[in-house]
Structure 1
Amino acid sequence: MSRRIVLIGHPRRAEALDIAIKLVRDLAAADVEVTGPADELEAFGVLHEPNVSIADCRESMDGAELAVVLGGDGTILRAAELVRDIGVPLLGINLGHVGFLAEADRDDVHATVKKIVERSWSVEERMTLEVEVSIDGRVVWKSWALNEASVEKRARERMLELVLEIDDRPLSTWGADGIVMATPTGSTAYAFSAGGPVVWPGVDALLLVPISAHALFARPLVLDHNSHVGIELLERTGAHAVVWCDGRRSFDIPPSARIDVRRSGRPVRLARLSTAPFTDRLVAKFDLSVSGWRGMGPAPGPSEA
């Protein structure tokens, strides 16, 4: 078989098992191989299907056309960890609640397979962030994020005191519970919950959203996408913090640590089956009311997500 699709998912969801079997068998009928981590393929009950092979590392997934992800946004973020370095596009089939990163619905498996077989998808490159933590000028931890990197206090009773630096110039000192640094993709995730703006995916920008900051100048900021953000923790409060990337990878940091965040040169690639604009995705995912709209064409709904 010359065509390969990676399958990654959330096998603990009962509905994912049925969808995985349908997906594998429909793709087999079109002579498309399915590969993926052995433990997940076994949990899905498809490991012994004739067109299934094992790929337990990034290198063995190289050359695949797509990574089909069964689950919600958290599962898609986990899948991004596996395929970002090799550039395989992610196609999410939503089994979660909102599913902003997903492209297809759980009820559309056959239609999704048809589009995969016909190679009827486009690819969007989504900006990611590089994150470094330094102590006394020495880098002690590196990671990356698709949605956001956040610096948060570890102890409830201790507030962090942060100095914010933009492009090597100090901007402000905040007493806060933390700060979120988000991409446009992540503007509908943690940053949105913290009071940040929704940013369309085509906008090149980096968002900064303070978390419960005690300062007059503590509003969300929208920066140039090439801006370099530095955050220094002040020792005088004695507060320890934790750095999170996409809520999946974390590192505990002491007072006096420094966190540097900048745009990464390595994006995450998302496969898109629909040409519906981001506005329609917002309406569908947030169930926004558009009653009274008198524009041209049908009002957006779940089918436009």
Structure 2
Amino acid sequence: MSRKILLFAHTGRPEATTAAAQACVRLREAGLIPVMSRGDLEILRGTEAESVGVQVINENVALDDIELGVVLGGDGSVLRAAEIIRHTDIPLIGVNLGHVGFLAESERSDLDETVDHIVNRTYTVEERMAIDVVVWCQGQILTHTWALNEASIEKGNREKMIEVVIEVDGRPLSTFGCDGVVLASPTGSTAYAFSGGGPIVWPEVEAMLMVPLSAHALFARPMVTAPSSTMAVEVLPANGHYGVLWCDGRRTNELPPGSRIEVKRSDKPVRLARIHPAPFSERLVKKFDLPTRGWRGPVRRHRGENDRGEIQDS
């Protein structure tokens, strides 16, 4: 059976149209079948890809038949694709057409190389921790959702802070007024949590983050919890102000006063394909354009030296 590759294109970017057409043609030339949604396929009208026979997901191709998803866009496009395939085990590979693109594996200039890796199956798949998010109010579940990057509890009125109490593993830690609280995964540590002053966490580290935003409190530091922990934020009803929940900046729900948001590790990770197995530190330097001048690297031990650099008698 022919291998089917699902393409997600950022329809608002003209370069995504060119990239999607190029990928479709290259996949067809290699004997693979490009697949797109009906909406995304419309952007290829009048391009070379229109004649190669792109199939349509959920019309003549089922999600269960997809081998890999290729995302042409920025991190937002990867999050959109992850939401669409959430109930499957399809891995995603991102080709960055945005700015930083932390979730992307390659750049636009490397598209042909990326397609070659897909054709030859010379890619690996890593699993990224996702978080499970439940909102309670008056003993009822208002929302049960998930996030790859973060769940952010924010004030609903820009002119008023919300009063919250934060909790870890069933024990309260502090109460304060703030603009919000970010509850993030390691993947999300370089997203909203990073902008809020949280630490960068390597993707291999199994942990979760709690980062208060503009808190009026002496103790409102970013915290890193165990992957088995349950983090919670309660929106206190004292001042009657509503909050807003955002998951990955895509899905939103209103938080009435008295709401309780619980976050824990999801049983289902997000699968990302890798073709450049470089250390995460290398990705940090590249994505943030960090200066590394003056670096000399690890000291190399000469033959006959011990751990203190002393010459040993032979």
Alignment of 1:31-70 (within 5 A): 31-45=31-45, 48-56=50-58, 60-70=62-72
Tell me whether 1:185 sits opposite 2:205 in the alignment. no
Contact 2:232–2:263 (Cα < 8 Å) also in 1: yes
Say whether the 8 Å CA contact 2:127–2:272 is kept in structure 1: yes
Q: Provide TM-score, normalisation by structure 2.
A: 0.91
Aligned partner of residue 133 in structure 1, secondary structure: strand
| Preserved contact between residue 93 and residue 272 of structure 2 (Cα < 8 Å) | yes
Moved more, 275-284 or 158-167: 158-167
- 1:1-305 → structure 2 map (5 Å cutoff): 1-45=1-45, 48-56=50-58, 60-295=62-297
In the alignment, the residues of structure 2 paired with residue 291 and residue 29 of structure 1 have an alpha-carbon distance, to the nearest angstrom, of 44
Q: CA deviation at 1:73?
A: 0.3
AA partner of residue 215 (structure 1)? A
Letter in 2 for 1:23: A
| Alpha-carbon distance in structure 1 between the residues aligned to 2:111 and 2:250 | 28
Contact 2:165–2:173 under 8 Å retained in 1:
yes
Q: Show structure 1 runs of 4+ deviating over 2 A.
A: 44-51
**Is contact 2:181–2:210 with CA below 8 Å preserved after alignment?**
yes
Note if contact 1:84-1:267 (Cα within 8 Å) is conserved in structure 2.
Answer: no
Q: Describe the SS at the equivalent of 1:237.
A: coil
**SS of structure 1 residue aligned to 2:87:** helix
1:48 positional shift: 3.5
AA partner of residue 38 (structure 1) = R
Amino acid aligned to 1:218:
A
Give me the identity figure in percent: 52
Contact kept, 8 Å, 1:16 with 1:44, in 2: the verdict is: no
Shift of 1:50: 3.1
Q: How far apart are the structure 2 equivalents of 1:241 and 1:168? A: 22
- Deviations 1:79-119 (CA, angstroms, capped at 9, x unpaired): 00111211100100000000000001101111111111110
Any stretches of 5+ residues in structure 1 without a counterpart? 297-305
Which position in structure 1 is the counterpart of 2:302?
Answer: none
Q: Distance in 2 between matches of 1:82 and 1:49?
A: 26
Q: Distance in 2 between matches of 1:223 and 1:23?
A: 41
Q: Matched residues in 2 for 1:13 and 1:37: separation?
A: 16
Does the 8 Å contact 2:125/2:274 carry over to 1?
yes
Give the CA RMSD over aligned residues.
1.4
Native 8 Å contact 2:9 2:17 kept in 1: no
